[in-house]
Every structure is written in C-alpha cells, then in structure tokens.
Amino acid sequence: MKKTNQMKKIIYAFAAIAFLSFAQSCKKDSEFLDKQPTSTLPIDAVWKDPNLVLTVVGDLYDRYPDYQTIEAWWTFAVFDEGFASASGDYFRHQNLEYGYDAWRYWDMGVYGYIRDLNMFIKRGQESTALKAEDRDRFLAEARFIRAGVYFEMVKAMGGVPLITTVLDYNYSGDPSYLQFPRAKETEIYDFVISELEAVKTILPDNPTVQSRATKAAALAMESRAALYAGSIAKYSNSQLSLPGGEVGISSGLANAYFTKSLAAAKEIIDGGKYSLYKKNPNLSENFAALFTDKGSNPEVIFAKDFKLKTNKVHGFTIDNQPRSSAEEAQGGRLNPSLNLVQSFEKLDNTYASMASVDGSGNPVYYSGITDIFAGRDARLAGTVILPGTQFKGKTVDIWAGYQLADGSIVTGDNFGQNKTNVLPGNAGSVQVVGADGPVDGLEFSAQSGFYVRKYLDPATGSGQIGTRSDVWWIRYRYAEVLLNAAEAAFELGDPTTAANYIKQVRDRAGLTVALTPAEITFDRIVHERKVELAFEGHELWDMKRWRLADKVWNGNNMSAADFINANNIGSATRTSTQVFGLWPYKYYNPGNANHLKYIFKVIKPSRVTAAHRFRIGNYYSSIGQDVLNGNPKIVRNPNQ
C-alpha cells in the first residue's frame, strides 16, 4: 500500500515535469526569444508612474555638471584660493601655464547627456498616462537641467552646436546631416535665458524644495547667465571673438543682458520667500553654519543633496578636517591661501595685509595667536579655520615653532613633534611644532597656516570613512542673487540700488558701516564676490567673464613683499599667481617682555614653484581634435 503511494507520487511528479517542459516548447519561437528584460523597465511602463519617472529625473540631476565642488576638493587648489597639502596634488602649484584643453566641457559624454535630456523631453511630451501637472513639472525640470548644461558649455567653450531634438543616425554611410555648426555665443545664452523664463512658471514656487528645480532656481540661473553674458559683452575685446560670433558678444548687447539679470534677481528678492541665513548671533559661526545647516535654511535655492547611510555621501570633511582632531588619520588637504585670507577687509571697510611686521619692518608681537586676525570681516573665520580657533569643539594647533632671541628657529618635521634640550635654559622635552603643523612639505599639515572651514561638516562621524558627510553642495543661494543684482544695477549705472543690495550681504558679515553709492566700484564688486563666494566654484568663471584672468594670473612670480603692507589688496587686477601662507611662531626669550608671544611670517610653501599663467587662449577651452576631425563645420576657438 505504502509503496504504491510512493509510486504514484513519482508518477505525478514526472507528469508535472513533462507537462511543464512540453508546455514550454509549445510556445512560438518568436515569443521564446522575445523576452522582457528583468533588469530594466520599458519606456512606456516608466511613463505611467510618477515615482518611476522621478528615478529617471534623479539620474539626470545626478549628472548635472560642476567644475569645482566639494566632491573634488583639489579643484579649489587650481587657482589662488587654496594650497593642496597632499603629495599627489603639489603639481597644481608647479605648472606654469594652464593647458588650452583645461576646463573643456565638450565631448561624447556631454552630448550623450544632452541626448538623454532631449529624449526624456520627447517621451514626456508623447506620454499620456501621467497627470498633466506631474508631467509638466518633470518636463520643466529636464528643460531646467538642459539649460544648466548648455550654460556650463557656453561658459567653458563659447558657442556650441545647439541640439534640442533627438538625433538618430540612419546608417546610410553619410553622417553629414548630423553635423551641426557652432551656434553663436549669444544664441546659447539667449537659449538658456529663454528656456528658464519659459519653465519658471511651471516649476513649483516653493522655498522648501531645494534639491530640485524651482521657480527661484530657474530665476537664479537666469540671473547668473544674463550677468555672465552682460559682462562678456561689456568687457569684450577684439581678440576674444570669432567672425561668426561663436565666441564674443557685441558690447551693444551688454545693457540688455544686465537688465535681464537684474529683473530675474529682483523677482526672487521681491518674491520674499528667501532670505539670508541669520540663525546664529555669532556672525562667523553663522556664516559657517549657512553651508552645513540643512534644516529650513532660507538662503539655499538649489543644491546637490547627500544622504547618510546611502552611497550618496562625500568625503570633503575627511579630506580637509584639521589633522589634530581628525577622526581618521587624514585630513588637512585644502589650505586656504594668504592671498584669500588677507582679502577679507577690516571692519572699517579698508583693506590691509595681515600685520606681521610694522611699517619699519620689525615683527609685531601678539599675546594671543588669533589677535592678528581680529577686527576683520566675520566671513574670514567662517570660511577659514584660523590658528587658535575651534572646529568640532577642539582648538586647532597651528604654529610653526619657536623663534629664539638670536633669530634662529626651533621646529620639527612631524605633527606635534617633541624635542629635548632645544630651548635655552630648558633641558626638558618640549613640543616644537603644532599638532596641525605647519611643516613645509608634510602633507595634511596646514602648509599655508590655515585649514578650510566652509563646507566642513560639524557632525560627529563626518570625518570617518565609514560614515562620511551629507552636507550639501549649494549651487545657487540667495546671497549670490543679491550680489548679481548689485553688479547688474552697478553696470546699468545705478550705484544706489547696487549699494542697497550689497549692504544686505555685508551687514550679515558684520561690516555695518554701509558703503555709499559713490564707494561702489567695479573693484568693490569683484572683491565682494571673491570673499563671499570663495570655495563655491565661482572664481574661474568670474575671472573669465570679467576678462581679468590673464591679468591676475599673469605668470609673473610673487614674493613675500607682495603680502607685507600691500596697498593694492582691493585692486581687481592685483597679481595672484602663487599661493602664500602665514605661519605663527612663538617667540622664546625668557626675561623679555615678548617672551612666548606670537610673531607671524609670510612664507611661500616650498612646493609652490611656478606662477600660474592664464593665456588669452585659455578664455575659451580648446575643442578636441576628435571633434574637429569628426565635424568639418566646427571652427576652432581663438588664440590657441
């Protein structure tokens, strides 16, 4: 009985297997081969569900271009804002000139991205399954991103082929119908501006949406793009132009662009939904928190957001945290330069070098290590970790050694090194250099005498490789909008309006003596953007559009004398080709009134061996030879 049962089971099993396999082979051959992939979704399925479309938009946002960003700290060391205190990056201070291909943003990847955007827009327009409001928002976001990509291209390359439809090759052997000439530089700027004008009313006008496109994000980008176009027109010269207009904007168009820039900025300002971040009464702490506070931050308009415990985190804090209090055995890479530090003006709106020596060249003795930085723009301590200030509740230990009465220096060659019997009258072991350096040539030490503070995450664990940081990268913020408005108004001959806008930004920095309209000059505007927007990816593009880059980075080397009692710090054309530092020393002379007081020395890190040289051919990056070979209609950029 039992046996029969078992037998039956086996038979049933066989029958089932046979049925399944025969049924399978009953399928038509075509169906057998034609399977839906399980790893990707078909297009029409995506366009039925707003959540699925959002994942596609998320990818498009993720590829949004940034040249300088907190995900690539070393890009901030390419010019004069910072020194790269990492042995693999010293070369950034050792190359004389920038290659003509530097900052190139035109390759297969960029046009592949534009093709994806165009394809997304086309499919969205064809889809019918989504609610109209959802669909319109997605399409407006894609157009916003596309405008951003073209803006990035025109900044780097000048006019580029303007492709707004999906192009397909027909395999006919003749690709010439796919070869488009470069549009004029003005045409790209006009496209960017008109696209943003078109989508601003579709996008949500909601200040709590900060990592997706909003009305204010569109207006902020429009304001910046129009300002760039306006200044390129105003400061144009015959060398930076091509006969076809691919590069160069006629100076007659300047005012029209400035007017557009001002109008876009005003629309955000008058909308009243955004304001400057003013949560902390300590102005320096407040300025630092502006970049790291992600909870109802009223200043942030458009940012690239990150999230802990996902793979969307970054290591800016790991790379750049003070070495002495670091949570991993690294940090300290990006060291702000003295060039930047001394640009922060004094509270009476005047410029001055850091007072390391007095007028007759004698060292100035300070009883506190931070005293030399007192009475300056509050943004200085919010942007830079100064010697003797704190990060994450720990005081950084930056001092270069002892200077003895005879002028000789006692120092070490490692973080916080101790030496025995090196100080006169003291046979014991003493620490001879700060735990954060500076030690010349020692990576991760504060080789310029400073560490960066902007974007450094104060959260516990942000400096650990296992945790990392989720501080966001702010692409557009309200203070820049105010500065755009101020600059556009100034260029339009309205310094009163300019003074009013610039005052709001300066008040927040503790510079309470307002600049009068007569004091608003071009140099003032250049300076204000330099200090407010340092380490935010503006410097290169600003210097390019003002046509100042070849004057400031002119390839002439500098000396310490340029940083001692300098009288041209506020000059927009001041040479700044090499990064310098300022090192504190303790004066050791028992019995002297200045014993153990601090003195400061202007130094050039020994790894800085060349002066940056920005050539006229660098204003527009060269176009790759592969692009030129592939499309005979492309003309080369000038002066290369």
- Given the rule CB under 8 A, which residues bind another protein? 96-97, 237, 239, 243, 550, 554-557, 577, 610-611, 613, 615-617, 625-626, 628-629, 638-640
Q: Which of 1, 573, 488 is nearest to 220 (CA)?
A: 488
144 φ/ψ angles, rounded to the nearest 5 degrees = -60, -45
92 φ/ψ angles, rounded to the nearest 5 degrees = -65, -20
Count CB-CB contacts under 10 A for residue 282: 13
Task: Output the smallest distance, CB 470 to another protein, in A.
Answer: 42
Of the pair 164, 639, the CB lying nearest another protein is at 639
Say if residues 226 and 260 touch (Cβ distance below 8 Å).
yes
Of the pair 271, 632, the CB lying nearest another protein is at 632
DSSP category for residue 254 = H
Q: Which of 624, 586, 617, 532 is nearest to 81 (CA)?
A: 532
Query: What is the rounded CA–CA span in Å between residue 405 and residue 429?
Result: 19
Query: What is the rounded CA–CA span in Å between residue 48 and residue 137?
Result: 15
Say if residues 216 and 271 touch (Cβ distance below 8 Å).
yes
Query: What is the rounded CA–CA span in Å between residue 603 and residue 585?
Result: 12
Of the pair 130, 628, the CB lying nearest another protein is at 628
Cis peptide before 517 (omega within 30 of 0): no
- 319: which 2 tokens? 């790379």
For the chain, how are helix, strand and coil distributed in percent, rounded to 5?
40, 10, 50
Task: Output the smallest distance, CB 262 to another protein, in A.
Answer: 31
Task: Output the smallest distance, CB 615 to another protein, in A.
Answer: 4
- 459: which 2 tokens? 């959260």
Residue with tokens 């496209």: 191
Q: Which of 162, 184, 181 is nearest to 249 (CA)?
A: 184
Of the pair 352, 628, the CB lying nearest another protein is at 628
Of the pair 285, 523, the CB lying nearest another protein is at 523
Task: Output the smallest distance, CB 252 to another protein, in A.
Answer: 21
Of the pair 243, 272, the CB lying nearest another protein is at 243
Task: Output the smallest distance, CB 629 to another protein, in A.
Answer: 5
Residue 451 forms beta bridges with which residues? 385
Q: Which of 289, 250, 603, 321 is nearest to 474 (CA)?
A: 289
Task: Output the smallest distance, CB 628 to another protein, in A.
Answer: 8
Say if residues 315 and 66 touch (Cβ distance below 8 Å).
no
Task: Output the smallest distance, CB 556 to another protein, in A.
Answer: 4
Task: Output the smallest distance, CB 248 to another protein, in A.
Answer: 14
Of the pair 243, 393, the CB lying nearest another protein is at 243
Task: Output the smallest distance, CB 577 to another protein, in A.
Answer: 8
Of the pair 426, 625, the CB lying nearest another protein is at 625
Q: What DSSP string describes 189-218?
A: HHHHHHHHHHHHTTS---TT--SS--HHHH
Task: Output the smallest distance, CB 554 to another protein, in A.
Answer: 7
Of the pair 286, 578, the CB lying nearest another protein is at 578
Task: Output the smallest distance, CB 404 to another protein, in A.
Answer: 21
Residue with tokens 């002439």: 556
Of the pair 242, 264, the CB lying nearest another protein is at 242
- 67: which 2 tokens? 């040249």
Of the pair 148, 617, the CB lying nearest another protein is at 617
Q: What angle do the packed helices 522-532 and 478-491 form, to 10 degrees?
A: 170
Query: What is the rounded CA–CA span in Å between residue 176 and residue 161?
Result: 14
Of the pair 370, 640, the CB lying nearest another protein is at 640
Of the pair 598, 619, the CB lying nearest another protein is at 619
Query: Angle 99-102-107 (CA atoms, 0-180°, nearest 5)?
Result: 125
Task: Output the smallest distance, CB 442 to another protein, in A.
Answer: 24
Task: Output the smallest distance, CB 235 to another protein, in A.
Answer: 13
Helix (H) or strand (E) holding 430: strand 429-431
Q: What DSSP string describes 11-54?
A: HHHHHHHHHHHHHHHHS-HHHHH----SSS--HHHHTT-HHHHH
For β-strands 473-477 and 394-395, DSSP reports them as unpaired
Of the pair 350, 629, the CB lying nearest another protein is at 629
Task: Output the smallest distance, CB 382 to another protein, in A.
Answer: 34
Task: Output the smallest distance, CB 612 to another protein, in A.
Answer: 9
Q: Rounded to whole angstroms, what are the CA distances from 75 to 24, 424, 575, 589?
A: 59, 44, 20, 42
Query: What is the rounded CA–CA span in Å between residue 207 and residue 296?
Result: 9
Of the pair 231, 618, the CB lying nearest another protein is at 618
69 φ/ψ angles, rounded to the nearest 5 degrees = -155, 165
